[in-house]
Amino acid sequence: MPQMDKNEFAAIAIKHASKIAPAYGAKPAEIADYLLALAQVESGLDSDARNKNSTARGVLQMLICTQRECEKKRAKVAFAPAMFSCKVYKTSTVKESDDRVLNDPDYAIMLSCYELCYQYKRYKGNIEKAVHAYNQGSYPGGNINEGGKYTAKVMKNLGKNPDFDYASLTSQQIESTRTFGDTQVTYKEFY
């Protein structure tokens, strides 16, 4: 089932967004709409899509490292092996036929919903920044304008005009402090 129907995708997206979005302070219908727009830009709704330059695959082109982080930290999936190792893209740990992100669009949409909702909360309810971060992640890319172009495509798909300077977002550096037991650790994150 490589090509998904828009209505089929939307039904799955709203099913997951209804359960996930409220926990992140997001509106389920808005998240579902953005997931559909993301899928149209990412893969053209092709659940069998693979990126030849990275480990991104599936209808929402999720990277292996993002998959593992979502499974562990947000979706709380007990055992969720990915097809490739994060550090060595070509080292297979799971047969392609068992890769759920590639072979189970429902699962891929659920994980992407967690990721988009997480980014939404991270950027204090700014969905445009969340879309940008869905594509660019937490690290500055090689081409800082790439994320802005991507976000503009998603926004255009929704009939909206982006009103944010996305290039500046990827070059921001924020210092954070977290407490682990009695120890405070300070580190820098890129956005």
Measured CA distances, 152 to 70, 118, 145, 149, 177 (Å): 25, 20, 11, 5, 33
**Sequence ranges of the domains in the chain:** 6-190
pLDDT in tens, 145-165: 666 788 888 988 898 876 655
Q: Fold for domain 6-190?
A: Lysozyme (1.10.530)
- Give the per-residue pLDDT at 137: 72
Query: What is the value of pTM for the model shown?
Result: 0.78
Which pLDDT tens digits describe the chain residue by residue (191 residues)?
589 999 999 999 999 999 999 999 999 999 999 999 999 999 999 999 998 888 889 999 998 888 888 888 888 886 555 544 555 444 445 567 778 888 899 999 999 999 999 999 988 998 988 888 898 875 444 455 666 788 888 988 898 876 655 555 544 455 556 666 777 665 544 44
- Give the per-residue pLDDT at 87: 52
